[in-house]
Amino acid sequence: MEGMLDSRLREVITRVGTYDWCVTEFVRVTNQRLPSRCFMRAAPELAHGAQTVAGTPVRVQLLGSDPACLAANAAFLATLKPAGIDLNFGCPAPQVNRHRGGAVLLNEPELLHTIAREVSAAIAGRVAFTAKMRLGVSDTAKALEAAQSLAEGGAQLLVVHARTKADGYRPPAYWEWVGRVAEVVQVPVVANGEIWTLQDYLRCRAQSGRSDVMLGRGALADPFLAQRIRDHLAGATARPPGGDWPRVVPLLLAYWQAVRRELEPRHAPGRLKQWLNLLQRHYLPAAVLFRQIRALADAGEIDGHLAALARAHALAQPV
């Protein structure tokens, strides 16, 4: 998730989440073969076997519209041995769409096919090749054709964010459409969108007929959501997230520590606020902390708040 789920947060979240794999923020491909530092910046895990410290495989996502250029970058990226290469046809951001990137290409199934075919040929089976799509630009008229184009072009798995670009991030997600997509392609289809709780997962599974899901914001709002789902599937009794705040605190402190170590002080607060903003959905203390630091732009002042949090939980000071 661009601007949010960077390597630092991936590291913290995959420590507790039991994920099959995760995906980087997108790397924008326009008209040149990018140098390796661009891929390493998006995926520092490439230097460590393309895994997070916890061992979760990391796939790298590309976003672009030029088949030859995407193929050239995918071919090079494959030599860096990511756990997979994913193509983004879901981003709704106007500045991305203006340059013919992301969800806007869903109106052009033939182009999707060409991109998938050329990227697949360039990767030549060296790493997994997946694609992420929405249901369309302004409506779902081309959803099935777009999915077929990607799958027949060579994408080995599709993640379907069950909304159109026009829907943005507004609920609901139209999970039944994920099932419709799965009926017309020969590759695995993973459901995505608006899964915040175990109950959402169960509803999504019932409506889409898919048991595999990709978690987005829900995994940040409740870092134990993936585990909660797995536990339920294994027959364990599910607990509501609120009681897990003491288990969230060390993650939050570890994240702040990493952000403070690696980012300029002026960029650190925004990162923490974004995560707290999602955490407050389930955790009341996160809402309190968010209110306390919301107006602070000074990382030093935020250090003080997190040091107090660490003391309250008898944990090592974060910085």
Ligand X SMILES: Cc1cc2nc3c(=O)[nH]c(=O)nc-3n(C[C@H](O)[C@H](O)[C@H](O)COP(=O)(O)O)c2cc1C
Contact residue for ligand X among 64, 109, 136, 218 (CB under 6 A): 218
Query: Of 22, 38, 69, 91, which one is the catalytic site residue?
Result: 91
Please give the C-alpha separations between residue 180 and each of 156, 162, 176, 190, 272, in angstroms, as whole numbers: 17, 11, 7, 12, 38
Residue carrying structure tokens 């923020």: 25
Q: In what order do the strands lie in the sheet with 189-192?
A: 22-28, 58-63, 84-89, 128-133, 157-161, 189-192, 213-214
Residue carrying structure tokens 């073969």: 33
Q: How far apart are CA 65 and CA 99, in angstroms?
A: 9
Q: Using CB under 6 A as the criterion, what x/- string covers residues 162-201 for binding ligand X? A: -------x----------------------xxxx------
Residue carrying structure tokens 């459901």: 191
* Residue 235 Cβ vs ligand X, minimum distance, rounded to whole Å: 25
Assess 10 for contact with ligand X (CB under 6 A): no
Contact residue for ligand X among 153, 154, 216, 269 (CB under 6 A): 216
CB of 51 within 8 A of CB of 96?
Answer: no
Assess 26 for contact with ligand X (CB under 6 A): yes
10 Å Cβ neighbour count for 79? 10
Assess 4 for contact with ligand X (CB under 6 A): yes
Residue 91 falls in the annotated catalytic set? yes
* Residue 131 Cβ vs ligand X, minimum distance, rounded to whole Å: 10
Assess 90 for contact with ligand X (CB under 6 A): yes
Contacts to ligand X from residues 134-153, by CB under 6 A: none
* Residue 3 Cβ vs ligand X, minimum distance, rounded to whole Å: 5
* Residue 275 Cβ vs ligand X, minimum distance, rounded to whole Å: 11
Catalytic residues: 91
